[in-house]
A and B are shown apart, each in its own frame.
Chain A
């Protein structure tokens, strides 16, 4: 646990030591500010961040892979993976540590957006339930996207490739699930629908915390983190 935490904190700190981390954070805040100003901060709109959360999932499709792409790919390219994987750290500990570092960075990017809730408070009387639920949904979705990116980052030494593959899979799964849900018969349509994240995020934005949705994101994240650990273990055989 000490080791996992050491990896997580080093990873988190390294986002601030490289230009990439700052650029991602700036881009994210710029886009979310734009969305807030354009869609929420208008006369007559309800004092909620609902539409704001509604578009965040599509922003995360780009932001999460740009955070996750370097996690292992960078270490594989520079060779620092070797002292890391010959240190007494388990593959699962390594994958979890990297994931936790990336998640902490994503949450750091999200933190300044809390100011929007403050803006709403100043102008009107927002309902904090849906806002809290919305943030929970965004964090859970971010976890799943980061874990997918973590896996692809462990498979290649090219950050660009890791980014592209993650982006491709995230978009394909969303578009594919929606298309399949519309065309296939039951029970396949139901399975396809359950893989789509958009309706789940919409529920969170409405203020509904469904344990089904929460478990979905947690289980998917755990699955991809463990797959990463497996991919690292397989690497020792080659």
Chain B
């Protein structure tokens, strides 16, 4: 009855990876009615396929109720998918659930832990659950305590610790068995800014490790800056579907090429009404300009907001020339192009109506 009895479940596949193939989760039930199959339950995750590679931090970004936690719970075998297959390091999350679960370190949302236990006892318990061999338990615990900076509270009861410490206890428990895959659900929720920064550094650090040296790290968040600062790859999920996938830069660039930039032009403070009018007319007459909106600023300057047409390329040169031609002498103090921020990209993706989503809406 030694620790060896469960060891066969703790072998790792050579390529740490999460693969999801057409995964859906329906809460409630589907009732096929006449003509079309009508969905009566809640489709929390809708036909998601993805592959998550090791060595980089992947972020699952979406508003509350988008299906992030449901998708993660299916990856960790806590929930069984209604359709589709998830493989963790090649192990099917339902058919080879034991092996799949053994290769995951998981920090659930709000890091549930036993308040009455001491930090050290809790980690020892988790080590036994994950069949860390008896002779390696001490080293594994010391390493996890050290990585999560918990050494000074190892004898304290978890219930007495602050939220930030508790979160780190949950993380220490997740990395204890040196898993090939690390899944963190909202790892920085409830932390203060300095703790968030420390968590971010720790998460980035954790991409190295695991049996092959490179670990799969997946974290979820509804906070955009969190994801864009920590993650190398961002998956945006909304209403149960993956809406966008790429590096934070790629997402902004893609959005910039598809969505319209805006140009802002400010005249010098003392510029005459007629000169401003001429500039406005000149710029408004340019090919590729859809509309010009003029507003008066407090210091007597005028701000022109120039909205290009969808097909227009970079108009900065053309606008500068048109403005110079319309008014003699120096007239401008600023000309800039505003590209959408990741925030706007995110909001655009999340709020975009999608006819494929059932009318019942999705909330998890």
> Do chains A and B interact in one complex?
yes
Which residues in A have some Cβ–Cβ distance to B below 8 Å? 1-3, 5-7, 10, 13-14, 17-18, 78-90, 236-238
A85:B98 contact, CB within 8 angstroms = no
Q: Quick one: which of B3, B108, B115, B129 has the most chain A CB within 10 A?
A: B129
* Number of residues of chain B lying within 8 A (CB) of chain A: 38
- Which one of A14, A89, A236 lies within 8 Å of B117 (CB-CB)? A14
Given contacts A1-B1, A7-B129, A14-B116, contact A82 B98 (CB under 8 A): no
A14:B114 contact, CB within 8 angstroms = yes
* Separation of A2 and B129 alpha carbons in the complex (Å): 7
* Separation of A84 and B129 alpha carbons in the complex (Å): 9
Across the interface, which residues of B come within 8 angstroms of A87, CB to CB? 101, 126, 129-130
Cβ-closest chain A residue relative to B25: A237
Across the interface, which residues of B come within 8 angstroms of A80, CB to CB? 112-114
Across the interface, which residues of B come within 8 angstroms of A79, CB to CB? 108, 110, 112
What is the predominant secondary structure among interface residues of chain A facing chain B?
helix
Q: What is the count of residue pairs linking A and B with beta-carbon distances less than 8 angstroms? A: 86
* Separation of A98 and B242 alpha carbons in the complex (Å): 39
Least distance between B174 CB and chain A CB atoms (Å): 8
A6:B125 contact, CB within 8 angstroms = yes
B57-80 interface bits toward A, Cβ cutoff 8 Å, 1 = contact, 0 = none: 000000000000000010011111
Given contacts A2-B1, A6-B129, A80-B112, contact A238 B6 (CB under 8 A): no
Given contacts A1-B5, A3-B129, A6-B125, contact A86 B113 (CB under 8 A): no
Task: Judge whether B304 is part of the interface by a CB distance below 8 angstroms.
Answer: no
Q: Quick one: which of B78, B102, B106 has the most chain A CB within 10 A?
A: B78
Task: Judge whether B128 is part of the interface by a CB distance below 8 angstroms.
Answer: yes
Given contacts A2-B3, A82-B108, A238-B27, contact A90 B98 (CB under 8 A): yes
A89:B129 contact, CB within 8 angstroms = yes
Cβ-closest chain A residue relative to B134: A2
B128:A3 contact, CB within 8 angstroms = yes
Given contacts A3-B6, A17-B117, contact A86 B1 (CB under 8 A): no
Cβ-closest chain A residue relative to B101: A88
Cβ-closest chain A residue relative to B104: A86
* Separation of A7 and B128 alpha carbons in the complex (Å): 9
